[in-house]
Amino acid sequence: MSEQKKLTDLAFLRNLTGGQPDKMIKYLRMFLSGTPQSITQMELHALSKDWSAVKQTAHSIKPQLGYFGAKGSEDLMKQIEQYADSQTDNDKIPEMINNFRQQYETISAELEQELNILTA
Amino acid sequence: MSENKPLIIIVDDEPLQRELLKDHLSKMSGYQILTFGTGEECIAAGKVRKPTLVFLDYYLNTQVKDAMDGLEVLKEMKTIYPDVDVVMISSQDKIEVAVNSIKYGAFDYIVKGEGSFYRAEKVLFNVYRYNKLKGDAARYKSLTIWMGSAIVLMIIIAIVLQQMGFIKANPGWY
């Protein structure tokens, strides 16, 4: 069975921190504790059709995904931000947020695994 | 002890972003670094002690809607300290964001992303070099004024002494 391609890549963070485990652990914990709240916030904003708030939340999550190598999700977040900004394809946004939530399940599982390795 | 070091302030409402930049810039010794989640905190800290450099998020109201945004904080900091260097940071690579930042006096503008930390390091170096050049220029200016004044004073003394007959018009000629 072929191994499924990972959604994350910690190469950038390893390079930035010089591979220091304490810093890697700190950043992983910060991302894993902060992002679920941001996703929920974004879902609530979409529910209340507050597209400006959706845009701002997507805007703040976007670069963080890049730091953890989740390029596909970063692109999705960029798209959400653009749709929310243009106010044209707003009806597609809830589905896109839902897709992101699903991606985040995998992202968080991968990062939890990395965290376990680093803290072992 | 650290109060003697030049101060860098990092303002971003994303804790991870703040921490990453702080840790990265901390590698460069000789700076005290303070981080804040809001512009209001940054201004309060700035009033207590003048920072050398401020890294300021452009969108500061993603968490708290009524919070000051980056441009407001930039304008306020420039009112308090016109010569403080402020670097705006944003995930937006739109030209108007960069133009607005520079228009209100930002030293530079950085787009968030993997390269932004190395860019911030480079900006810090540029600010250091720029301030050093400014200091050198001020020293050279005052030195030129002092030397010019000394020469004028010497000429005046020579004329006065000549008028009083203490020295001849062409000393050493005969």
| Average pLDDT value over all residues in chain B | 89
Q: How near does any CA of chain A get to the CA of B122, in Å?
A: 15
Beta bridge partners of B36: B11
| HEC-encoded secondary structure of B44-104 | HHHHHCCCCEEEEECCCCCCCCCCCCHHHHHHHHHHHCCCCEEEEEECCCCHHHHHHHHHC
Least confident of A9-18, A43-52, B56-65: B56-65
SS3 (DSSP) at B169: coil
| The pLDDT of residue A76 | 97
State which fold the B2-135 domain adopts.
Rossmann fold (3.40.50)
CA gap A26, B9 in Å, rounded:
21
Does A16 sit within 8 Å of B15, measured CB to CB?
A: no
pTM of the model: 0.84
- The two tokens of residue B68 are 């000051």
CA gap B109, B99 in Å, rounded:
9
Q: What value of ipTM does the predicted structure carry?
A: 0.89
Higher pLDDT, B41 or B167: B41
Does A16 sit within 8 Å of B62, measured CB to CB?
A: no
CA gap A93, A97 in Å, rounded:
6
Question: In Å, what is the CA distance from B102 to each residue of A3, A116, B109, B118?
Answer: 49, 44, 8, 20
Would you kindly state where each structural domain of chain B is located, as residue ranges? 2-135
Contact residues, chain A, for B91 at CB < 8 Å:
59-60, 62-63
Question: In Å, what is the CA distance from B77 to each residue of B42, B83, B110, B153?
Answer: 9, 9, 18, 44
Higher pLDDT, B122 or B66: B122
Contact residues, chain A, for B16 at CB < 8 Å:
27, 30-31, 34, 64, 67
Question: In Å, what is the CA distance from B48 to each residue of B4, B41, B51, B139, B143?
Answer: 14, 11, 9, 28, 33
Contacts of B166 (CB under 8 A, 6+ apart): none
Residue B85's φ and ψ, nearest 5 degrees, are: -90, 125
Question: In chain A, pLDDT over 90 holds for what percent of residues?
Answer: 85
Band of the pLDDT at A42, cuts 50, 70, 90? Answer: very high
| The pLDDT of residue B30 | 85
CA gap B37, A19 in Å, rounded:
27
Would you kindly state where each structural domain of chain A is located, as residue ranges? 11-119
Contact residues, chain A, for B63 at CB < 8 Å:
60
Residue B1 scores a pLDDT above 50: no
Residues of B with CB under 8 A from a CB of A: 13-17, 19-20, 23-24, 59, 61-63, 65, 91-92, 112-114, 116-117
Does B19 sit within 8 Å of A26, measured CB to CB?
A: yes
CA gap B118, B121 in Å, rounded:
5
Mean pLDDT within B95-105 = 89
State which fold the A11-119 domain adopts.
Four Helix Bundle (Hemerythrin (Met), subunit A) (1.20.120)
Residue B65 scores a pLDDT above 80: no
Does A60 sit within 8 Å of B59, measured CB to CB?
A: yes
